[in-house]
Every structure is written in structure tokens, then in C-alpha cells.
Amino acid sequence: EQIMEDGFVRATAYKAALARKDTLVRRDLELDALVEIMEAKRFITCHSYVQSEINMLMKLAERHGFTVNTFTHILEGYKVADKMAQHGAGASTFSDWWAYKYEVIEAIPFNAALLTQMGVVTAINSDDAEMARRLNQEAAKAVKYGNLSEEEAWKLVTINPARLLHIDDRVGSIKKGKDADLVLWSDRPLSIYARAEMTFVDGMLLYDLEADQQLQREIAEEKARLTAAIIEAKKKGAKVAPVVIREEPEYECETVFDFVGE
């Protein structure tokens, strides 16, 4: 807290110095960014977990005259949802992750619903690339855990994230004049049985389920034809290259040291 407090105190003095025409001030990019935050030209998305750090940053922000735009993860947001609503902060949280490290021990799956019910603009996010492909199902959990309506739950992954990113004038809902970024589903979007049938970006069709299935059939047929040709050529004595299987390594924190010194 003290490090951030010191930063904004310095930024306040820096801003005042810049305003004086009789003073030469050395440009400081770090303080420029903090001044932009205080002037609501730059928006904070803050990584957070427990109520103490959430409260701390909101109080610090209020002392320096700005609003925290979004608390990300915020798994104890339900404890301070009323204060967040009063402050004007939004929330981007996991649907039901908890107890995987100390600071999330008191996380609950009702978090997104409780934040929403307290008037906090709330979105569902994921750090996992695979789960991020299925945020519609993650949002559906707020119906089970918190009894949100399907419409409210759907907003957790559509208009609410757009509002938190300040791009809701372009995306997040279907409205004349907005970007035509659309998905046509085979079922209610929150259903585990829903499949994306068509995807449009800027009004252009980029994915069509039927066309993709036809393409997969054509690829399978071509693969079978080539495989048969290779087998036939081998039977006739043609030389064939040995099969080389290349496996791409999955890099993690522990494997990064394999490259030290290379």
C-alpha cells in the first residue's frame, strides 16, 4: 500500500509542477501514467483476491480522486460487494475456482451472483485457455450458484465485459450501429448442448459448422487417398522416408531453466 501511496503522492506533485508555466519539469513516463489514472484517462484493472487488499485500493483511490475500474479474480468480492458498488468498481471473477492456494480459501461459487445482485458490473473470466473457449458454460454456473436469470448470467460474458473495457458502444450486445460480431447457437447459449453453428466478425462469416463438417470429410478422404497411394508405392518397392514424430515441449516455470546459457 505504501509503495502505491508514495507513487500517487509523487504524481500529484508532478501534475502540479507541470501546471506551472514558470517551471521546467523532467518528463517521467511512470508518473505520466499515474496522472492519467487520476484524470480518468487510463483505467485500472487490478489483480486481487482478498477483501483487505480490495478495501485498501479503493480507499487509496478515493484519497487520490479516482475510481478503480475493475478488480480481476476478486474471489472475496462478495464480502465487500456493497463497498464496491458504492465506489463504482467492476468485477471480473472466476465462476467456481477456490481452495487452490491460500488467498482463495474463502472463495465461493456464489461470488458472481452476489456481486451482480449488489449492483456491481460483473464479468466471468478464466486464466485457462481451454476454459476461456467455454465461458458460456462458466456463466451458466451463476444460474445454479446464485439463482441468476439466464439473461443476467449471459450478460456476465457479453455486455458486462464490454462495459468494463469501455467498448460497449461497439460490442457486447446486438444493436444497430455496433460491430456485427455474432455467434449463432444451436441451443440456448448457456446450455452444455449448445454448439456454435456460425460465427461472424465484422459481419463476415468466419465459421460455418456445416461447411466445416464438409471440409473435414474432404480432408479425411484426401488423407485416405494419399495413405493408400503410399502403401501401394511401398509394396512396389518405392523408397519411403522413415516416420519422424516431433513433439512440441510444453514450457513451464521449471523448464525455462533448460534454455539458460543457450
Query: What mean pLDDT is predicted for residues 241-245?
Result: 84
Asked whether the predicted pLDDT for residue 97 surpasses 90, the reply is no
User: In DSSP terms, which residues pair with 47 in a beta bridge?
Assistant: 72
> What amino acid occupies position 106?
E
What percentage of the chain has pLDDT greater than the value 90? 81
Query: What mean pLDDT is predicted for residues 71-85?
Result: 96
246-262 burial: b if 16+ Cβ within 10 Å, else e: eeeeeeeeeeeeeeeee
Query: What pLDDT does residue 252 have?
Result: 72
> What amino acid occupies position 123?
A
Q: What is the pLDDT of residues 44-55, one digit of tens each?
A: 999 999 999 999
What is the sign, positive or negative, of the torsion defined by CA atoms of 139, 142, 147, 152? negative
SS3 content of the chain, % helix, strand, coil (to 5): 45, 10, 45
In 10 A of CB 224, how many CB atoms? 10
Binned at pLDDT 50, 70 and 90, residue 240 comes out as confident
3-state secondary structure at position 30: helix
Q: Are 123 and 155 in contact (CB under 8 A)?
A: no
Query: What mean pLDDT is predicted for residues 170-189?
Result: 95
Binned at pLDDT 50, 70 and 90, residue 260 comes out as low
Integer Cα distance of 81 and 182 in angstroms: 32
